[in-house]
Chains A and B, each alone.
Chain A
């Protein structure tokens, strides 16, 4: 069981809750959602409690995150996009901290479950659709009809645009989910090699240096991926929100 690379994704109930036959138990996944939220809020509030004109180290980390997301959103969706800043910032911080929490041994990675990443992706897409229609009315549908395309090609291009729009929540969620899942499985497999090789005696212990090196390198890579996927999720969110604000492209 210890070497089962899938075991780490198992959801275990902590407080079983059931309403109308549906299982709403507080699980290890729920626990880590709460921990992610609590840790992020605590960090952001604690680090800014000094309200220093000259920031302390922790405060400048919070400021960097804030200005990084603000810059990303502003460059993708313009000043008008800043109305979605709280949403984008929350998404970025939530995904980033959840991904980084997953890097701790024995911690559960909430973003390694497709339903979580899909829910976050749908939150973005529904925001785009609702705000897009609210702001532009029927002109929002121009998103699917690019200007300057020959009439003969228009049905085909529109079809492609619709398909690409519909695939957005899937690609957005699967990208994050698959990256986290695959990364954690790979790490687990390589670290599993170390244990099983060392069990083979002197040669095995010597041979296990290779997977050990791989595990170390993969850990570094996974930290990069944890940040990068949070960033990619945020950038794509910003770009989709830009579509809601400026549908004609």
Chain B
């Protein structure tokens, strides 16, 4: 029976093949005798295709795209990390620079203060020395002055005594003399 059907379909096929255009009945897409075969082979090929897509081709593509995404994200985070490092280095450098500047400033002001203090001390010392010398000189002058003054009294006494002796021929007593001198000098 199967063989019979086969031969009839074959026969039909032959018949349709030639006068298809004239009759218009054998329009191939509407030829139901081919449906079973098309459906079967479509099912087989599409199932295989689906399986290969799902289990081989698509995981591969997904993997490639995923890798690229990861790589780009990794590169980005690496770049960010490097940028942060750079920023930190710049901050550290600036801090060090500021510290150095402060230190330099400190040293300069310390030195200045020290020099100033030194100068002050030296000046004070010099001034003290000068004052001492001045005092000594003053003392010396006043010593000389008192000495001179005391000698003036003596000289005046002597002179007076000599004058008086010359005038009156008699030397005055020492007490009179000093009394007289005192009254004159005061």
- Interface residue ranges, A against B (CB under 8 Å): 4, 6-7, 9-11, 13, 16-18, 20-27, 29-30, 33-34, 36-37, 40-41, 44-45, 48, 51-53, 55, 59, 62-63, 66-67, 85-87, 89-90, 93-94, 110, 112-116, 119-120, 123, 177, 181
CB proximity of B72 to chain A, nearest CB, Å: 9
Complex interface bits, B56-75 against A, C-beta within 8 A gives 1, otherwise 0: 11101111110110010000
User: Does any Cβ of A come within 8 Å of B185's Cβ?
Assistant: no
Contact of A34 among B36, B38, B45, B56 (CB under 8 A): B45
Which residue of the partner chain B has the closest CB to A20?
Answer: B2
Contacts of B40 in A (CB 8 A): 24
CB proximity of A83 to chain B, nearest CB, Å: 11
A29-B29 contact given A18-B6, A94-B46, CB 8 Å threshold: no
Additional 8 contacts, C-beta under 8 A, given A36-B45, A41-B52? A4-B21, A6-B20, A16-B6, A62-B61, A66-B61, A94-B49, A115-B38, A116-B38
Which residue of the partner chain B has the closest CB to A43?
Answer: B57
A87 CA to B63 CA in the complex, in Å? 18
Contact, CB under 8 Å: A29 / B30: no
Contact, CB under 8 Å: B57 / A48: yes
Contact, CB under 8 Å: A44 / B37: no
* For the complex of A and B, 7 pairs with smallest distance between CB atoms: A30-B41, A86-B54, A33-B45, A44-B57, A9-B28, A37-B49, A66-B61
Q: Main SS of chain A's interface residues?
A: helix
A25 CA to B37 CA in the complex, in Å? 6
Count of B residues near A, CB < 8 Å? 46
Contact, CB under 8 Å: B34 / A11: yes
A227 CA to B161 CA in the complex, in Å? 158
Contact, CB under 8 Å: A45 / B56: yes
A110 CA to B46 CA in the complex, in Å? 12
Contact, CB under 8 Å: B34 / A29: yes
Contact, CB under 8 Å: B61 / A10: no
Contact, CB under 8 Å: A66 / B65: yes
CB proximity of B69 to chain A, nearest CB, Å: 11
Contact, CB under 8 Å: B61 / A114: no
Contact of A114 among B29, B41, B53, B64 (CB under 8 A): B29
Contact, CB under 8 Å: B41 / A33: yes
Contact, CB under 8 Å: A48 / B41: no
Contact, CB under 8 Å: B60 / A48: yes
A33 CA to B65 CA in the complex, in Å? 29
Contact, CB under 8 Å: B57 / A6: no
Query: Can you offer 11 A-B residue contacts whose CB atoms are under 8 A?
Result: A6-B21, A6-B28, A7-B20, A9-B29, A11-B34, A13-B13, A24-B37, A62-B61, A90-B50, A113-B29, A120-B42
| Count of CB-CB pairs between chains A and B under 8 Å | 149
A132 CA to B37 CA in the complex, in Å? 30
Contact, CB under 8 Å: A86 / B58: yes
Contacts of A34 in B (CB 8 A): 41, 45
Complex interface bits, B1-40 against A, C-beta within 8 A gives 1, otherwise 0: 1100110011001000100110000011111011111111
Contact, CB under 8 Å: A23 / B38: no
CB proximity of A117 to chain B, nearest CB, Å: 10
User: Does any Cβ of A come within 8 Å of B48's Cβ?
Assistant: yes
A66 CA to B62 CA in the complex, in Å? 8
A106 CA to B27 CA in the complex, in Å? 18
Contacts of A67 in B (CB 8 A): 65
Of A23, A24, A93, A181, most B-chain CB atoms within 10 Å: A23
A67 CA to B58 CA in the complex, in Å? 11
Which residue of the partner chain A has the closest CB to B48?
Answer: A37
Contacts of B62 in A (CB 8 A): 66
Contact, CB under 8 Å: B31 / A23: no
